[in-house]
Amino acid sequence: MSLSNAEKEMQCVLHWFDGWSKMQKEDFLKDLADKAVPDNVETLFESMRYMDVRDRPPSIFQCQLKLFTQWFDGWTDKERNDFMIQLQQLDPSFVAEFNEHVSRQQHSV
């Protein structure tokens, strides 16, 4: 059976995640949490930081985050949940930290 596009995209993101540094995973956590709690004001400021015009091209990590955002926006709720389940299997402590971060964001909104 062939994988759907969303499943291929998830595999790709999980592969990237596995190779990211701790700092990159922290940035990804913030990005993912902002998607879970979209009314957070910090989201706007973070987006502005990434849009900063520079003389150098974006890093591979920045390109990966941009692709992830495009893919994530196209996923159904079920596909998003499936992604989180797969991420939980890959890195349970990351998902626990993500859940704590989202909980704090929801209480501050």
The answer as to whether 61 is a domain residue is: no
Q: Give the C-alpha separation, 73 to 15, whole Å.
A: 19
Q: What pLDDT, on the 0 to 100 scale, is given for residue 8?
A: 97
- Per-residue confidence of the chain (109 residues) as pLDDT tens digits? 799 999 999 999 999 999 999 999 999 999 999 888 766 555 545 555 555 555 678 899 999 999 999 999 999 999 999 999 999 999 999 999 999 999 988 777 6
Structurally, the chain folds into a number of domains equal to 1
Q: What are φ and ψ of residue 39, in 5° steps?
A: -85, 10
* Residue 36: CB atoms within 10 Å: 15
The answer as to whether 84 is a domain residue is: yes
Q: Give the C-alpha separation, 107 to 109, whole Å.
A: 6
The answer as to whether 90 is a domain residue is: yes
Domain span including residue 107: 22-48+66-109
The answer as to whether 4 is a domain residue is: no
The answer as to whether 9 is a domain residue is: no
The answer as to whether 44 is a domain residue is: yes
The answer as to whether 1 is a domain residue is: no
Query: Which structure tokens are listed for 99?
Result: 């859940």
The answer as to whether 40 is a domain residue is: yes
